[in-house]
Amino acid sequence: MAQPDEVDMARAKLAVGTLLDEMKLAAHLYAVEPREGMWAVIVECATGSGWQRVELRAGPELLAAIDGDAETQATLDAKWRAHLADCKYD
């Protein structure tokens, strides 16, 4: 992935926000950063005993998910849920 422009960054943030909202996390904060040819998605979420910080990775599939690719979105959702299992959900 080449250095993303402002449009790609905005789309990546929108994609992450949409995916996390659909996961129904009870409380969370997130950031998206370009890193090593991929996206670093840093998620902080409420757990039963406080907060946890998790760094996830995504490639071009992140932008495909926001473009409506349901299969890609489902794959990211499953992968991210495994890393966010300790988070509280609504």
Q: Tell me, what DSSP letter sits at residue 4?
A: P
How long, in residues, is the chain? 90
Residue 68: per-residue pLDDT: 84
Residue 66: per-residue pLDDT: 81
Q: Do 60 and 38 touch, CB atoms closer than 8 A?
A: no
Contacts of 8 (CB under 8 A, 6+ apart): 63
Residue 33: per-residue pLDDT: 93
pLDDT at residue 1 is higher than 80: no
Taken in order of first residue, the domains within the chain and their CATH numbers are 6-83 (3.30.160)
Structure tokens, 50 = 């406080």
